[in-house]
A and B are shown apart, each in its own frame.
Chain A
């Protein structure tokens, strides 16, 4: 069982089905990127997992606790950051964290140290005594992330944590998520920014019209949609000979010489699975060609997303 599990999770708002029998598993220790078009059901799923919304049907568990019957236990193990959230502008930064720490029943004696540590983690120590209202959007996002960490949760459920942020703030949030993951937190994050998801996520789930279209590692999903591989081969010499040799190989569908990189690079389309690539490399070296590099050109998450979704909104 994954740290997050949903079985037949359904949510209806009147006639509209926001989520339809969603079966999802998020493994412990990873960063799971939840992507999909607007209105696909990402926020609904996250709100159900965060116990702020009840599903119409189905069940979900976080760290083995049911979101329907063990809500308090679920709240103890999750740190939730909604897509839109408010802050208490009339509170100081440390007071804000201290208040939420108290709401998580953390004793007063340890709150001061905890608040300082969290502020250091999100790089807001220098704004400790400032009013929350005076913080920039990116700083408020980081403060909200620190708030979600006050009770040291196992799982972070983050709905669009980088939305509306400038490039620098996005980079900071990405770095922070990586750091939190390295600290052992499982992160379930939704984002519209596919480049961010691609960069930091170990697993990806694509949702559309309330249904899970695909889930797995990015490599697995690429494998699922691509039946051929684009491989770049860099040689120190004998480039034309290698091109001719490859063109005659039965697994190679196409080969071209790239003009950049000193002209020593070949772009090859290879049919078959990863084993075919291993065989091809072995044979290429066996044929005496001086291979300097042999690597697969990765398809972007955007390509995977476009190939797997149809642009339907529930």
Chain B
């Protein structure tokens, strides 16, 4: 008896690019708008760099350019982080609500396109564009290497922070887009959230926690808890996480964790290990992103009333 094995049908559709991603990128990159935005962004970075350069050379006359390299690198990274933090949710805040407003949502939902593919397609298209923003700034940042004072690890960490910020904050925009009926409300809520998380929460946490830092009569456990809370609060915002990570790299000459010396000496251990803020920031926001994306997909899936 002849045994024939039927080959499994090749699932070609799954190996193809996400159609939403293709459509969004086509729309986004068509015309002059995308390139005008990139040009304006590069102009902003270029002008910032010139300002940093002139300010630094006015204050520090000498031949040592390592300080100039560091200042330029950190200055540009912070501007990039701010841009990404505010642009990423702006690109996704209308992703789902915009489809509803355009009356194209029902058409999409009656196709075989899954909620997951729709959400990931929207997210990836925003990330791809954000990635362009990050990449085009690399030549400017590389000037810092000519002046010196910047390690390759710092460049890698800056890229990690930028990518995590783009992913996380784009997910915030997507989440609100699935939650709100109008793109306007979704954009406003995304912007408020970003502002609170990137600027408000770290400042608020420090204001609330700072009085305890000067408390001399504090137990070991309370001080340890306070230290971790302080660094966690600083790790919520990409800006504070970047600033603290940068200064710790200079001080500790490592990038993973450092030993924090406690003031309370009542305990046998007077030092505790604290992970670098970039690690806490990355883990925290990857977890939040996973939750936000899962809720967004569930909402899109369940929007048949």
Contact = CB atoms under 8 A, between A and B. Distances in A.
Interface stretch (A2-10, A50-58, A306-314): A50-58
Interface stretch (A97-105, A226-234, A251-259, A265-273): A97-105
Contact of B110 (A80, A86, A95, A102): A80
Nearest to A82: B106
Interface in A82-101: 82, 84-88, 90-91, 95, 99-100
B110 A108 contact: no
A98 to B, nearest CB: 8
Interface in B1-51: 12-13, 16, 19, 22-23, 26-27, 30
Interface residues of A, number: 32
A108 B106 contact: no
A83 to B, nearest CB: 10
B27 A87 contact: no
B109 to A, nearest CB: 6
Interface stretch (A70-78, A170-178, A211-219, A275-283): A70-78
A102 B117 CA distance: 12
B266 interface: no
A188 B304 CA distance: 21
Contacts of B27: 88, 90-91
Contact of A102 (B16, B104, B304): B16
B104 A100 contact: no
B16 A103 contact: no
Contacts of B156: none
Contacts of B113: 103
A85 B103 CA distance: 5
B305 interface: yes
Interface in B94-114: 102-104, 106-113
B30 A90 contact: yes
B109 A52 contact: yes
Contacts of B26: 91, 95
A91 B107 contact: no
B304 to A, nearest CB: 5
Interface string A131-159: 00000000000001001000100000000
Contact of A104 (B22, B23, B106, B111): B111
Q: How large is the interface on B (under 10, 10 to 19, 20 to 34, 35 or more residues)?
A: 20 to 34
A104 B112 CA distance: 5
Interface in B274-305: 304-305
A86 B106 CA distance: 9
A49 to B, nearest CB: 10
Contact of A91 (B12, B23, B110): B23
Contact of A99 (B22, B109, B304): B22
A106 B102 CA distance: 25
A107 interface: yes
B19 A76 contact: no
B34 to A, nearest CB: 12
Given A54-B305, A91-B23, A103 B106 contact: no
A216 B247 CA distance: 80
- Greatest chain A CB density within 10 A among B30, B102, B106, B109 is at B106
Interface of A: 47, 50-54, 72, 75-76, 78, 80, 82, 84-88, 90-91, 95, 99-100, 102-108, 144, 147, 151
- 4 nearest A-B residue pairs (beta carbon): A102-B19, A86-B103, A105-B13, A103-B111
13 contacts: A47-B106, A51-B304, A53-B304, A85-B107, A87-B104, A90-B30, A102-B13, A102-B16, A103-B108, A103-B111, A104-B111, A105-B13, A151-B112
Given A50-B110, A51-B304, A82-B106, 16 more contacts: A52-B106, A75-B111, A78-B110, A80-B106, A80-B110, A85-B103, A85-B107, A91-B23, A91-B26, A99-B19, A100-B111, A102-B16, A102-B22, A103-B112, A105-B13, A151-B112
